[in-house]
Amino acid sequence: MGGFWTQSFPPSPKFTETNVHDLVGKVFIVTGGNAGIGLELVKILYSKGATVYMAGRSATKIAAEIEAIKATSTQSPGHLKSLIVDLGDLTTISNCASTFLAQESRLDVLFNNAGISRQPAGSVSTQGYEAHIGTNCLGPFLLTKLLLPILLQTAKSAPKASVRVVFTSSGLVDIAGPPGGLSLSELAPGKHSTDINRNYSASKAGNWFLASEFDKRTSKDGVVCVVQSPGTLRTKGWDGTPWLVRLAMAPLFYPPKMGAYTALWAGLSPEVKSEDGGKVIIPWGRWHTSPKKDILASLKTKEEGGTGLAAEFWDYCETHTKEFAA
């Protein structure tokens, strides 16, 4: 519970746009970049001269946001580009990656920012997976895997620990969810939990697992994978919440830009080192110092004294996305 409170009442951010230097020549992808936290992050990166790909489901909404940003940031030497992807539909992800790879020869940071929350019990992704797991975990897993070659190639000539993959978790992981973070048995058809907070929390623990497992496979080659909990923010993710709950939560809500600062620290702060892969970053850019012990056990193999659950979840994601990787 202590982790929840420090995330709910964080100190002021110490890494903002004022700490970010020239990003000309750098390339970034921000999923969910046309709204909320992602949009604020895109604005910061673009203002520093980066090439930023705004990835989302709606070409119309992306185009509108790109035009709006350009209209207010006329002096930026950066570039804004569109990527169409629906992370809840695995058939769209290969084309998204191919579209990007056809245009770029480097990728400095992949921000797996997009996600869904509080979907009604029984909701499923296009392929029939529990909606939160399908959209928040399987989609980002496949996208990251398809973009891994260009990330590894970029790391060969980039400054040490500067090429990163940033997954997105939630403070809810500290207070809700199955033991160990998630339950593999609940991922089976017909076995999904009817508790929407449990389902969402499981998907956010899954993001942490994926960051850890990707890092185990990439850190030796220079790509650092971390996970960040952006904070309790005033975004559309709360739209389905009863108004009384939102009213009670109002004192905890912060503007989306504050969440962008958490992601910015995760993706660009020099405080993130090669050995930090798999760690959790909390608002507004600092390390989580008291993660739940049962989740830490999930991250370790049985040989290391853990449960190996994170590795099992990696295998689950690989098995269920394999046919869509081509």
Point out the residues that are catalytic.
200, 204
Nearest CA-CA partner of 139 in 55, 35, 222, 233 = 55
Give yes or no for a contact between 147 and 98, defined as CB atoms under 8 angstroms apart: no
Under DSSP, is residue 29 helix (H, G, I), strand (E, B) or coil?
strand
- What's the rounded Cα separation, in Å, for the pair 265 and 29? 15
- What are the two backbone dihedrals, phi and then psi, of residue 28, each rounded to the nearest 5 degrees? -135, 150
Rounded to the nearest angstrom, the gap between the alpha carbon of residue 5 and the centroid of all alpha carbons in its chain is 21
CA-to-CA separations, 122 to 193, 194, 240, 276, in angstroms, rounded: 8, 7, 15, 37
CA distances to 12, 180, 226, 271 from 267, in Å: 18, 27, 9, 10
